[in-house]
Structures are given as C-alpha cells and as structure tokens.
Amino acid sequence: MEARRMVTPVPRAARRRRWSPQVRRSFIKGILFISPWILGFLFFNLYPMTKSFAMSFAEWHLRIPSEWIGLANYANLLHDRRFWTSLYNTVYMVLFAVPLTVFSAFVFAVLLNLKLRGRSVYRVIYYLPSIVPVVASSMLWMWIFNTNNGILNVFLGYLGIKGPSWLTDPAWSKPALILMGLWGIGNTVIIYLSGIQDVPVSLLEAAEIDGATWLQRLWHITVPMVSSITLFNLIIGVIDMFQYFTQAYIFAAVQAGTTAQQLGSPLDSTLFYSVYLYNRFQTLKLGYAAAMAWILFVIILICSLLLLRASKRWTYYESEGT
C-alpha cells in the first residue's frame, strides 16, 4: 500500500511575497515622486475638510474659544428662510440651466462638425467667450441687460417688443443669468465636438446606404455614441451649478452693494447657495457656514450618484458594447 505523502503546511510569514531590492527601490522612488501630491492633499484638502466638519458642530469664533453646540447649526438651517430661498434658486438653475446648456452645446457641436467653409473660424468664435474672465464677461452682460439703454432691450425695441427689466425684476433675474451662461459654453462644445468626431464613420456610411436621413443618423447613431460624454457634461454641469457664485455675486454687488441683506437682490431672486454660504463666512458665522458646506457636499454627492445610477439605462460604452 502506497504511503500517503505528508504535506507540511507552509508558515503564513513564508507565504508572504517578499519584495526584491529592485522592487523596493522602485516603490520608494514612486512614493517620493508623488509625495508633493500626497502632502498637498493632506494639508490643502483633507485637513480643511476635517476642520470644517468639526466646525459645523460648534459656534466658531476667531478670537475666543469655540463652543461645541452639536447639531444646533444644522437645526437652525431648517428655520432659516434665506437658506431655503438660496437652495430653491440653486435647484432652479440646476433644473433649467444644466439641461439647456448641455443641449445647446450638443447642437453647436453638431453644426461646427459640418463640412463648411471657414468652420475653423467659427470654432474659434464659439470658444473665445469661454476664456474671457468671468468678472469681465459679467460686467459686459450687465451693460447688455440694462433696462434703458442695454443693447438687448434696444434690439427688442426695434422688433416692437418691450424689453423686461432683466436685472431688477425677480421674474427675469435668473433667466438673465441662464442666458448669460449660454454665452460661455465653449468648453462643453469642444468636449462634444471631440466625441462627435470619434463616432465611427463606417456606421454613418452604412446607415446612409440603408437610406437613413441625416436626422435619423444623428438620433440613432451620433446621440447614443456620445451618451457617455453627455453623462460627463451633466455631472460637471450639476456640480458647477450647485456652486454657482461669481456672476450672481457681481450682479448683486454692482447693483446694491455687498451687505448681508443686499446680496441676492432683487428680492433674493439671485441669492444662490454659494452666495449665501459666503455671506455666512463674511459675517463670521463660521460654524453655520461649515454646516452649509457639508450639506452642499451631501447634495452634490447624492445628485452625482443618482445620475450615475440612472445612466446605466441610456449610456453606451463602446468597450462594453452596451
């Protein structure tokens, strides 16, 4: 009878893979190369986030010791009328400005991809506004939106239309900001244009041979093929719009000053979340502002996850074939 081989168990320490001196040196070199990023993340990202999270549970002051108040800052936000107004204004911009921006950028990208004479010039013209400083472009649009002698109302007057009070009427203040935002969609247009140019020509030619019209090829081939880019632009647009600040702040600052009650004029119609958050810091309510910042972080995180979850039904990835 054949004797059974006795297998001696290998100790756990011996089973561990030992790095060779060359691998260890490569690892140390890699850590040294990325150490500036690690230090920057620790001191300029992780530490401020941790500090602000702790501040959100305290009555924080600059010159006297802070006082731990638990969830009082978050509870006070529920009874703050201006907090809810700022959240409403921001959600309004997300629901209307983001889809309109993405749709307009796609349409312009399709037009700029047509084989027309001088299309390179057109591409430059559409991209130029996106590199104009935000402050300068905001001041320019304030002149365009001027009720009495603004170029937009003057043009509407030639058409027999009485132009609205863009900057002083609460019903038109947010549409004016949305219109101004459409002027600077050059970056989104370029992203879409690169995706459209990456659509396989063989698919378009095969569809054309089968008798598909230009619109049918656009809807059934181009739109699905750039759906991943649409998802990217939607997420970036939502994140940017929830942090909408500069244009609204300049509008309010130039019109009415920068005091606590004047920001967001007229009638708080342009009091966006980031503007009100900045105002809380400005009035040294640091713990209150930190609580608002973390609520904003949670809102953006939830919206991004919902978009990613919903995108599984309509986003196409060529590598996966789905």
Q: Which residues contact 88 (CB under 8 A, 6 or more apart)?
A: none
Model pLDDT, residue 194 = 92
Model pLDDT, residue 260 = 45
**pLDDT (average), residues 285-302:** 94
- Portion of the chain with pLDDT greater than 90, in percent: 54
Q: Phi-psi bin for 268: left (phi > 0), alpha (psi -120 to 50), beta? A: left
On whether the CB atoms of residues 89 and 307 are closer than 8 A, the answer is no
CB atoms < 10 A from the CB of 91, how many?
A: 16
Give the amino acid at 227: S
Pure H helices in the chain: 12-15, 21-41, 47-55, 72-78, 81-112, 119-127, 134-144, 151-158, 170-182, 186-197, 201-209, 214-217, 223-225, 227-242, 246-256, 273-282, 286-310
Give the model's confidence band at 163: pLDDT under 50 very low, under 70 low, under 90 confident, else very high: confident
Give the model's confidence band at 241: pLDDT under 50 very low, under 70 low, under 90 confident, else very high: very high
Give the model's confidence band at 258: pLDDT under 50 very low, under 70 low, under 90 confident, else very high: very low
Question: In order of start, what are the domains of the chain with their CATH numbers?
Answer: 19-73 (no CATH), 75-313 (1.10.3720.10)
Query: pLDDT tens across 89-129, in order?
Result: 999 999 999 999 999 999 999 999 998 888 889 899 889 99
Give the model's confidence band at 315: pLDDT under 50 very low, under 70 low, under 90 confident, else very high: confident
Q: Work out the angle at residue 279's Cα, subtended by the Cα atoms of residues 277 and 282, and round it to the nearest 5 degrees.
A: 120
Range in 78-87, 155-164, 194-203, 263-272 the model is least confident about: 263-272
* Nearest of 183, 127, 170, 152 to residue 265 by alpha carbon: 170
Mean per-residue pLDDT over the chain, rounded: 87
Q: State yes or no: pLDDT of 26 exceeds 70.
A: yes
**pLDDT (average), residues 123-146:** 90
Q: State yes or no: pLDDT of 229 exceeds 50.
A: yes
* Nearest of 74, 75, 84, 90 to residue 290 by alpha carbon: 74
**pLDDT (average), residues 128-147:** 90
On whether the CB atoms of residues 241 and 93 are closer than 8 A, the answer is yes
For residues 64 and 260, the model is more confident at 64
Q: State yes or no: pLDDT of 48 exceeds 60.
A: yes
Q: State yes or no: pLDDT of 178 exceeds 90.
A: yes
CA distance 257 to 263: 7
Model pTM? 0.84
Q: State yes or no: pLDDT of 1 exceeds 90.
A: no
Range in 15-29, 37-51, 84-98, 280-294 the model is least confident about: 15-29
Cα→Cα distances 36→33, 49, 50, 230, Å: 7, 19, 20, 34
**pLDDT (average), residues 62-79:** 86
Give the model's confidence band at 60: pLDDT under 50 very low, under 70 low, under 90 confident, else very high: confident
